[in-house]
Structure 1
Amino acid sequence: MAIDAGAIGTELPIVESTMEARRLRFFAKAIGETDPVYSDLEAARAAGHPDLPVPPTFLFGIELERPEPFGFLTDLGVDLRRILHGTQSFVYHSTAHAGDTLIARPRIADVYAKKGGALEFVVKETAVAAVDGSPIADLSTVIVVRSPEATA
């Protein structure tokens, strides 16, 4: 079953998340970040930050905090057993820090197919802003869906 291109432009549930220092430190350690600015408050302040900065790529995970983070795919009729993470990209506008509350506004930006429909792609874009509306980052994720019905 082909993914309906009518989904393009669909706005997904907004996620609000407060950046917690403990989680930022844990994430920095998990990705192998060795710069102490991401784990040591004194080092962060010495570098001119008011608190620990949010590590690169951390923002991708805040959308996973909602109850069914992949529900939008099942709503499109996608069998989650057939998905792959294609790409993700980030455009940063400013740095968020521990204690900041961020608002993520995701939407389906594109749906397309390749290889005669054997591979379908869902592009999700997310605008992340501070609660005052100032932009923090724009995220883009491409999810690849392997279609069992199509032959390439």
Structure 2
Amino acid sequence: MSNANNAAFVTPWKDLWNGDLAMTDKIIAKDFVAHAAPLTGSGSDVIRGREALNGWVSGIRSVIPDLTFTVEVGPITDADHLVVRWRAQGTYRGGLPGTGPESVGRKVNFTGTDTLRVADGMLAEYWANADSLLFFQQLGIKQLQ
């Protein structure tokens, strides 16, 4: 794929994370693999397939329903990859281990970098790097349970 073709994935990728799960069938390969450290510190660091990606996005949005992602840097592309630096903002609704009622209603604002591999005209692999420490600090989490 060309750099321009890979760059065209930025908006639908952002839209997917902003809650438009219909994007998944349009831009995500059936054998998609994501690599990300789990927020709770336990569980697999690999997510496989479209359904699992939608579950991940839905799970994050269940605790921060108004979460909005914007792209701050990029796209940076080559023949097989797309990289963007993003910012996410929203209001915490509750539900993460280690948070109490005092965390509900807190605003969160954190950043991250997504590296994606493009294959056969679809997003095939994803490496997530988010500032989870800042996210936890904003919620007042001192220790995961």
TM tier relative to shorter chain: 0.3 to 0.5
Give the TM-score taking structure 1 as reference length. Answer: 0.33
- TM-score w.r.t. structure 2 length? 0.34
Q: Which has the higher contact order (CA 8 A, sep 6+)?
A: 1
